[in-house]
Structure 1
Amino acid sequence: MTASGVPEASGDLAARVWREMRTMVLDLHDRRRQVCAALDMSFVRAKALRRLAAEPATLRRLAADLATDAPYTTVIVDDLVRRGLVVREVHPGDRRQRIVTITEAGARAAALAESILSEPPAPLRALDPADLATLHRILRTLTGPDGPGGPEDADSAGGRDDADGPGGPEGPPGRVSGRGG
């Protein structure tokens, strides 16, 4: 219903709900900067670690998952290798490709990032248990039984995370390619 009592079109309501969800997660309770500070790296690097914690990946697969171009993905992986967080090896099934695997130190960093990102904000914790259960049921319906976004990561808006976060260590929001430090 609108303020005048007229039923709201479902598309308009869906758009409003989506805006409010984005505001809650990305504006009011954005934890990306905390992750960057805790790990001393850009968010896209932390995202790469979280992705590689699930399973090793080729550079091509990692670039697709991060929504970054191949040269920038190489920069990311080179930095993570220098930090001892991942190793790059010859792919066992195709010697022409390289596969990136997380190290123990990288897995610890990915777990720290995940714990920061997974901490529910106080307003969510304060919800009535019945409302929280309803919200959980609705979100499970939207994200599927396999968790956030099904095969894609929920924090990635179609595979994208604004790469480095809002004004993150490597530049303005939306930057997904280039040679960041």
Structure 2
Amino acid sequence: MQVTRRLLPLMMLIPLSAPLLAIAQQEPLLKSHAASASQSKARIPSLLLGRWRVTKTLLTQAAVCWDRQQIDSVLNTQISYQPDGFSWNNQQRRSLGVVSSTVEEQEFVEDNSDADSETPAVDFAMLGIIAPAVERIAIMHTAKDSASNTPDDDEFPGATVLIKNPDTLIFSMCNQYFEAQRQR
């Protein structure tokens, strides 16, 4: 049986690959090889580098698991990307690896639909995206103790983004979608 992207969405692959990356980095015989491979793959793409301000929430019909106070706590905050990591709200995360892919609208809808839910899946139109496909960048990153190489399984603002245009990112937290604008 051949596994396709529809059966294993990108976001399901990241939690599976992050522990393997951590194990490879800890393996003594492979440490130098894994470290050099990890460094080249861990670089944040230049397209993201710089500061971004979270400017608004995007209205969708998705079932959100956050209350208004949690959603508001993300608005007007800043995400900052450096070549080796990123930060949000003075919390630093070091990149352990970056996966960049082009995602078409139908794939995005399938990745974000819940067969058990009666609410419609989030689509590009709900997010204000008019292109037939966008780039998705997912950053595997360190846990809260950024000195360790332990991957973080929690959602973190800006860890996975859609590039709406060169100055606009879209990301979600607990099914709430946010838009961030590049700061000059």
Whose helix proportion is higher, 1 or 2?
1
- Which bracket does the TM-score occupy, shorter chain normalised? under 0.3
- If you compute each CA radius of gyration, which structure gives the higher value, 1 or 2? 1
TM-score if structure 1 supplies the norm length?
Answer: 0.25
Higher strand share: 2
> What is the TM-score with the length of structure 2 in the denominator?
0.25
